[in-house]
Structure formats: structure tokens, C-alpha cells
Amino acid sequence: GQNIDQPTEMTATEGAIVQINCTYQTSGFNGLFWYQQHAGEAPTFLSYNVLDGLEEKGRFSSFLSRSKGYSYLLLKELQMKDSASYLCAVCDTGFQKLVFGTGTRLLVSP
Amino acid sequence: DAGVTQSPTHLIKTRGQQVTLRCSPKSGHDTVSWYQQALGQGPQFIFQYYEEEERQRGNFPDRFSGHQFPNYSSELNVNALLLGDSALYLCASSLAAGGRRWNNEQFFGPGTRLTVL
């Protein structure tokens, strides 16, 4: 089967750091994506990991451990505009089919 | 450089009707995937089109069908609409895997919000 698990909701304060975890079990693995989605809008690409390790991109970093079926998204220096849902998605085949988790709703408070 | 576009933005239908949603991929992309996102859920893969053929399909009934045109744009058709078909329908475009410019990145359009009454 295919299963992507991530927390339903997280809260944090402006300026803080938050880590959103994702564990996965899929029939295949061709990379893991993180997307940000504001309410009523389309998902926007944040990061892509296919090899183990940390990928850093400005205030956002993403980590992957393929042996553990685990990834996290790290958001630093949180801003109010970071309040959104964060979707973890695994590409399970060479044909780019994405399997999504239910998303983590992050609320950033002042 | 135009991104992924979808039409219409919103649509209201009644049970039993048929609907067609449209998607134009990002310039330079040749592959289109369709996803259904129910409220509070992550997107669910419906199918993917490449070279005008359905290349892969998710766990959706035959009421869901699609088409890709020579200019790479795509349509999603849903027949015999059910209340449970109410969702945000997302189109994602990408380059076919294995090409010289391939980077596995998928870009999503703004979506079509379908409400079935």
C-alpha cells in the first residue's frame, strides 16, 4: 500500500523555527516533494529531495532519509505569511505520479 | 512565461450532469497530470497524459476521462456527477521523465472549484 503521514496541525510564533515531519511507505520512490498551499489556492513548489541529506533554500530546508522513509521541512524566521498548509508528496514511479499526504496546517501567530 | 492555466475557475453542476475542465501546461512542458483535492485533504492523482495518451491512472472510476491535444493542453471530463465529486481539480504540468531538461518538478495550476448540488 501507499501511506504518507504528517501531523494535521501545528502552531508557532513569528520569528521562530518549525519542523514539519513526514513519514512514507510507497511501492516505489522517485523523490519527495514539499509544497505550500494557501487556502483556496494551488500548491506551490518548495523543495525536492531524491538523495539522502539536507537541501537548503533560503528560509526553507528539507531533509530526506530514504532508509527510514522520513523527511522533514524546516522553516526558519517564521513570518505571518507562512501560515498555510504544507503538503508532503512522494513520486512513486518514473512517470511522476505524486502521492500526497493530507497536509499539515501551520498557523503562525504574532 | 505563462504558467499553468485552468478554466473555468468555478463551476456549479447538479447530480447526473457532465462537466469538462480545461488545462494549458506551462510553456515548454509536455506532460499533464490531473488531481482531485477534497476539502481538508491532500490532492489525489486521477491520471496523467503524455503524447496525447493516458500514461498512468489513479484509483478513479471510468466516469473520469481525459484527453490531451497536440499543443499539450488537456481536458478532464466527468460524467454522471455525484455529490462526492465536489472538489478542487488541479492540473499539474511537467516535462516527461528522462529528457535532457527533465528535473522532476511539477507546476500546479490555480485549479477549478467544482460544486455538485
Q: Quick one: CA torsion of B100, A45, B42, B51, rounded to 10 degrees? A: -30
Residues of B in contact with A96 (CB under 8 A): 31, 33, 48, 94, 97, 104, 106
- C-beta separation of A34 from A101 below 8 A: no
- Helix/strand number for chain A, H first, E second: 0, 11
Nearest Cα of chain A lies from the Cα of B79 at a distance, in angstroms, of 23
The residue-averaged pLDDT of A75-97 equals 91
Per-residue pLDDT of B60-70, as tens digits, reads 999 999 999 99
* Contact across the interface for B43 and A30, Cβ inside 8 Å: no
Nearest Cα of chain A lies from the Cα of B66 at a distance, in angstroms, of 16
- C-beta separation of A89 from A33 below 8 A: yes
Residues of A in contact with B31 (CB under 8 A): 96
Substitution target from B108, B112, B113, B114 for chain A, most A beta carbons within 10 A: B108
Per-residue pLDDT of A38-52, as tens digits, reads 988 889 999 999 999
Distance of alpha carbon B43 from alpha carbon B64, whole angstroms: 16
Is A94 or A79 the better-scoring residue by pLDDT?
A79
Tell me the DSSP string of A1-17: --EEE--SEEEEETT--
DSSP β-ladder status, B112-116 and B10-13: parallel
Q: Is B60 on the interface with A (CB under 8 A)?
A: no
Q: Is B41 on the interface with A (CB under 8 A)?
A: yes
- First-to-last alpha carbon distance for chain B, in angstroms, is 37
Mean pLDDT of chain A: 93
- C-beta separation of B35 from B44 below 8 A: yes
Q: Per-residue pLDDT for B103 more than 70?
A: no
How many angstroms separate the Cα of A105 from the Cα of each of A68, A99, B32, B40?
24, 18, 27, 9
- First-to-last alpha carbon distance for chain A, in angstroms, is 41
Computed over its alpha carbons, how large is the radius of gyration of chain A? 13
Q: Per-residue pLDDT for A22 more than 60?
A: yes
Pick from A94, A98, A103: which is nearest to B106 by CB? A98
Please report which confidence band the pLDDT of residue A1 belongs to, taking 50, 70 and 90 as the band edges. low
What confidence score (pLDDT) does residue B106 get? 84
What confidence score (pLDDT) does residue A68 get? 96
Residues of A in contact with B110 (CB under 8 A): 41-42
Phi/psi of residue A80, nearest 5 degrees: -60, -35
Name the residue of chain B whose CA is nearest to A32's CA.
B104
